[in-house]
Structure 1
Amino acid sequence: MRSISLPPNDTAPRIEPLAKLPVFWNLAGKRVVMAGGGEGAAWKTELLLACGAVVDLYCSTAELSDSMASLLDRPDIRHHAHPWRFDIFAGAALALADLDGDEEARAFFCAARAAGVPVNVIDKPAFCQFQFGSIVNRSPVIVSISTDGAAPVLAQAIRQRIETLLPPALKQWAELAQSLRKAVSHRLPPGLSRRLFWERFAARSLSTNEPPDEDATHRLLSSLDHVSPTATVGSVTLVGAGPGDAELLTLKAMRALQAADVILFDDLVSPEVLELARREAKRFLVGKRGGRESCRQDDINDMMVRFAKAGKRVVRLKSGDPMIFGRAGEEILRLQREGIEVEVVPGVTAASAMAAAFKTSLTHRDHAQQVRFVTAHSRHHDLPKTLDWPSLSSPNQTTVFYMGGRMAGRIEQRLREGGMPADTPVVVMSSVSRTTERRWAGALASLPDAMRAIGVDQPVLIGVGEVFAAVAVAYGKEDQRQNKQIQRHM
């Protein structure tokens, strides 16, 4: 017999080892045994009833907690006002118990197993054949998280994170998907056309907080006759990435990143934000930084159009808020001219993050009745010629200069010329909300010196106005304290 030499199997396993098998069990109309009437039993009973089970509850009336007692008027729970017995398990799909002592828990566990009924004694892992996970409920979409009992708090934290990612209206969209399955299967052949329809459906359901209405259902059914793999057009979403800290990203922004096929991101977008994007998405750096080589705006516009016309879901990821000094207007106009669907997801602008970091209200009613966001950088790499400096120098307002690092000396000069006092409070912050963040506070006259200390290599924000007076005083006292310490050690 000729031997056959096979290559070594050095590929990774398709499924890594699992601590437990995750199973979703249909309990509709099934009988479930519950022993005990405490709070733990009540919570599990509510869960079972939500799954459509019929619960036979065995416990004395004196054992009933308030929560369990409130459930007894439901027709799908039957209260037997006596302790559990060995003959109660016949015909049960599951058996659960909320029992104090280990001896009774062991007896219940063994009795259920002898009857061939899967069993769980609440909060006693040694007497459990199965566990309950932490649940995210968008039924018919259900997400269950388990840490195999090792870290329940971690499971809750994961559940909370997933809750923020899944819009509440996903329940209604999933129900609509169920109702459309037959029509889609009948009118679209298996393969690319059917997959394209469901991909569009999924992208829509995960990107909106609004449940589908009758018009949405009608449009979806009408679109079945127009699904063509060769004529599909994608979409573009302009997403605000915030100033850098990934925790400042909005929920809607995270959903857009998770649904993207292509991401065109600015140089200022932090790696932590990009880590939240869909792993399969293609990423292209299209950074635009003053004084550095960067992509032309026309090239970025062309890329968005090209990818969208190829049927891709494109995310144009911008630092801060896309509608504040982000050239979003030019991009939106080009996309609309090309007939491409465009959506905007706002982000936390750097001025808001700076105000939060300094714990300063930009509109403190004692000092400022208006706020101005001003770009300190024109397309000619100079201060914009259209700025009204006398107006910017007026009191009772807060002004925040974006991209002002290299122009700080000029800003101080023009404000002074416009009539602003030399002792007007000023704050400076670079790399807002990032680990490399640097801060300074003082008087307007010292602004050029501040920039020599802060540096101009990172994005710089300059805030001017009386709302920063307390910050400037606090930083001045800190400087004096540090100087005294230095002199003490000389």
Structure 2
Amino acid sequence: MDVLQLLPSDRNATPARMAPLAKLPVFWALEGKRVVVAGGSDAAAWKAELLAACGAEVHVYAEDLSETFANLIDRSGVSSEGRLLHHDEPWSPQAFEDAQIAIADCADDEAAAAFFGAARKAGVPVNVIDKPKFCQFQFGSIVNRSPVVIAISTDGAAPILAQAIRRRIETLLPPSLKSWAALAQSIRDKVNARLSPGAPRRAFWEGFVDRAFGPVPGTGTEGDLLIEAGRFAATAKASAGRVTLVGAGPGDAELLTLKAVRALQAADVILFDDLVSGEVLELARREAKRLLVGKRGGRTSCKQEDINAMMISLAKAGKRVVRLKSGDPMIFGRAGEEIACLAKEGIAVDVVPGVTSACAMAARLGVSLTHRDHAQAVRLVTGHSRSGDLPANLDWQNLAEPRTTTIFYMGGRTASQIRDRLLAAGMDIKTPAVVMRAVTRINETRWLGIVDDLAQAMEAVGLDEPVLIGIGTVFAEAGSSFGTGSSELQFASKARPFQRRGVQ
């Protein structure tokens, strides 16, 4: 689903900050708290061990213990630690007194219902193992780098999938992360005493995170970090805001660069274009303020001057501003104007490139824009000027050159004029042409035909969203993947192919 389906037209509107959740993930402090485990099975033993690992005082009610459970209790050192206490008797309503959590492994639904009802009556959250209808909460699959703890849940739909995800995460997180997290915990108060809330403190912790995926911290690391925090404090300025122009790509969040994701995670404010997808915004820092500043042809738009003024005001207030642009900010994104305006005010600017729509279109079609048998150059051309018409200074003789691939951005409303100008400049009417709308999105639409039919193509594709028009013999290769015959539309959400006409 693209951002236009999520957002109203008001430029200050913001998308939903959180998609629906099957369950609320909660991390519960249980150190020194009483918990109840009923049953002596291996499954109950695993839950008891997990609760004990959280520092809970686990009261086990069971007349018979499995060998695994008995060994666990023997190893726990009950007399000295008091974390696993075995009661050689069945559970009773009195067992729930002062309990924080109650777990049971029950043989049948009747026994499960009795335990569930008693725990509910006592006001204790309850989980009956492998009986979802008698569970108020669930246990996830755990990745343990405590104090970093990650839990994965599939809401009971596919436990084996949760285990597979856990294995994948285990390979991504080095064991050293545990030591770095513990170090962060130990120095947090000292760092916060040196650095006031805001950009300097966040910059320090971002630098810390860069180290946290490296080797285990050494004995002198804590001192080095505190010296670094002092250096941040000494150089911090109240107006140390900055702006980062970030390319959001054509819509698919998986096409974002790692640097783009980091910028989104560090932002205080995000000014985003009308075409930035909701799934891209979902990767942004939750606390970041989001402002829609979209500019769309034929619609009420935010003026560029207002966007510039907004960036300047926010940066001078010490904010980290991300100007999030569809595609690549340096290609038809008016980045040059914004950089010049910010530089004039002495505001630091970074640029994070994005996947431009022309490259995404080529990838989706499986076409090389510079296929050695067809083209020796690629041109990216704007399809409209400030007045909404074609730019007056385009060299149509060069654009009609047959050994060049040309991609027109924002040319939907001028497609018929593009066709007329190219044919008047001598282009063969049977030159292959492609029109694509909403590239990489769920409502992606494709048309493949010949340049002579561009006007009819736009009638079929529509003008409700910006489109790309690709012209050149390289696009003859696109048709081979989708069959031959009469030209028609293809929608990405459907399985049927689009076909071509008039291409030899």
Whether the TM-score (by the shorter chain) exceeds 0.5 is yes
Map Cα deviations across residues 187-213 of structure 1 (whole Å, 9 max, x no partner).
55xxxx25654223234556899989x
> How do 1:444-459 residues align onto structure 2 when only pairs under 5 Å count?
444-459=451-466
Deviations 1:16-55 (A, max 9, x none): 987885789xxxxxxxxxxxxxxxxxxxxxxxxxxxxxxx
Q: Which of 376, 381, 402 matches 1:374?
A: 381
| Contact 1:422/1:444 (8 A) holds in 2 | yes
Q: Structure 2: any 5+ residue segments left out of the alignment?
A: 1-22, 32-64, 78-82, 85-103, 106-128, 130-138, 216-220, 490-504
> 1:479 maps to which residue?
486
Of 125, 143, 150, the match for 1:144: 150
For residues 192-211 of structure 1, what are the structure 2 equivalents within 5 Å?
193=196, 197-203=200-206
Q: What is residue 268 of structure 1 aligned with on the other side? A: 275
> Could you tell me which of 345, 354, 364 is aligned with 1:347?
354
Aligned to 1:487: none
Task: Write the letter of the residue equivalent to 1:393.
Answer: A
Q: Which residue of 264, 268, 283 maps to 1:257?
A: 264
1:255-285 CA-partner distances (Å, limit 9, x unpaired): 3223222111111112232233233322211
> Does the alignment pair 1:241 with 2:248?
yes
Secondary structure of the residue aligned to 2:398 is: helix
- Secondary structure in 2 matching 1:442: strand
Within a 5 Å distance, the mapping from 1:70-89 to structure 2 comes to: none
Specify the alignment match of 2:435 in structure 1.
Answer: 428
Q: Equivalent residues in 2 for 1:104-115 (5 A)? A: 106-115=66-75
Q: Given that residues 145 and 158 in structure 1 are in contact (C-alpha distance below 8 angstroms), is that contact kept between their aligned partners in structure 2?
A: no
Q: Relative CO higher for 1 or 2, CA cutoff 8 Å, sep ≥ 6? A: 2
Distance in 2 (CA, whole Å) between partners of 1:156 and 1:20 is 19
Residues 1:224 and 2:233 aligned together: yes
Amino acid aligned to 1:110: A
CA distance 1:226–1:170, change in 2 (3 Å): farther
Task: Tell me whether 1:391 sits opposite 2:398 in the alignment.
Answer: yes
Contact 1:134 1:155 in 2 (8 A): no
> 3-state DSSP class of the match of 1:339?
coil
Structure 1: gaps (5+ residues): 1-15, 25-104, 120-124, 483-490
Matched letter for residue 151 of structure 2: I
Give the TM-score normalised by structure 1.
0.64
1:326 aligned partner, one-letter code: G
Measure the CA separation in 2 of the matches of 1:162 and 1:243.
28
What residue in structure 1 maps to residue 323 of structure 2? 316
The answer to whether the Cα contact below 8 Å between 1:369 and 1:397 also exists between their aligned partners in 2 is yes
Letter in 1 for 2:143: I
Q: In structure 1, how many angstroms separate the alpha carbons of the residues matched to 2:167 and 2:259?
A: 16
Contact 1:146 / 1:155 at 8 angstroms: preserved in 2?
yes
Compared with structure 1, are the counterparts of its residues 478 and 203 closer, same or farther at alpha carbon in structure 2 (3 Å cutoff)? farther
Asked if the contact 1:141–1:171 (Cα under 8 Å) also holds between the matched residues in 2, the reply is yes
> Residue 412 of structure 1 aligns to a residue in which SS?
helix
1:333 equivalent to 2:336? Answer no
Find the aligned partners of 1:302 and 1:477 in 2 and give their Cα distance: 52
- % identical aligned pairs: 55
Partner of 1:67: none
Q: What residue identity is the alignment partner of 1:434?
A: R
2:285 aligns with one of 248, 268, 278: 278
Q: Deviations over 1:129-186 (max 9, x none)?
A: 9x9954386xx97342244995554445766997999999999997996897687467
| Worse-superposed segment, 160-169 or 247-256 | 160-169
Displacement of 1:415 in angstroms is 1.4
Letter in 2 for 1:107: E
Change (3 A) 1:381 1:165: farther
**1:481–1:342 CA distance, 2 compared to 1 (3 A):** closer
3-state secondary structure, aligned to 1:221: helix
Cα distance 1:321–1:23, how it changes in 2: closer, same or farther (>3 A)? Answer: farther
CA distance in 2, matches of 1:132, 1:148: 8
CA contact (8 A) 2:154 2:161 kept: no
**CA spacing shift, 1:172–1:112, aligned 2, 3 Å:** closer
CA contact (8 A) 1:442 1:475 kept: no
User: Residues of 1 paired with 2:155 and 2:413: CA distance?
Assistant: 56
Query: Using the alignment, how far apart are the partners of 1:400 and 1:373 within structure 2?
Result: 5
The one-letter code sitting in structure 2 at the alignment partner of 1:301 is: N
Q: Would the aligned equivalents of 2:328 and 2:355 in 1 still touch at CA under 8 Å?
A: yes
> Residues 473, 331 of structure 1: CA spacing in aligned structure 2 closer, same or farther, 3 A cutoff?
same
Contact 2:271 2:324 in 1 (8 A): yes
Higher mean alpha-carbon deviation, 106-115 vs 388-397, is at: 106-115
- Equivalent pair of 1:20/1:148 in contact (CA under 8 Å): no
**AA at the equivalent of 2:315:** A
State the number of aligned residues. 380
2:383–2:410 CA contact under 8 A, matched in 1: yes
Cα deviations across residues 105-137 of structure 1 (Å, max 9, x unaligned)? Answer: 932430330343589xxxxx98xx9x9954386
Report the AA paired with residue 443 of structure 1. I
TM-score (norm 2): 0.63
8 A Cα contact 1:426 1:443, kept in partner:
yes
Are residues 1:290 and 2:297 paired?
yes
TM superposition shift of 1:232 = 3.6
Question: Do 1:166 and 1:206's aligned partners in 2 also have CA atoms closer than 8 Å?
Answer: no
**Structure 1 counterpart SS, 2:66:** helix
Tell me, yes or no, if the aligned pair for 1:236 and 1:315 is still in contact at 8 Å. Answer: yes
Partners of 2:308 and 2:382 in 1: CA distance: 22
CA distance in 1, matches of 2:297, 2:240: 34
1:162-173 → structure 2 map (5 Å cutoff): none
Question: Counterpart of 1:202 in 2: which secondary structure?
Answer: helix
| Residue deviations 1:317-342 (CA, integer Å, cap 9, x gap) | 11111111101111122222222222
Change in Cα spacing, 1:419 to 1:157, as seen in structure 2 (3 Å) is farther
Note the alpha carbon deviations across 1:300-353, whole angstroms, 9 max, x for none. Answer: 011011111112221111111111110111112222222222222221111111
Q: 2:469 maps to what in 1? A: 462
Partner of 1:471, secondary structure, is helix
3-state secondary structure, aligned to 1:479: coil
Distance change >3 Å, CA 18–CA 340, structure 1 → 2: closer
Using the alignment, how far apart are the partners of 1:164 and 1:319 within structure 2? Answer: 33
Q: Report if the CA contact (8 A) 1:184-1:224 is conserved.
A: no
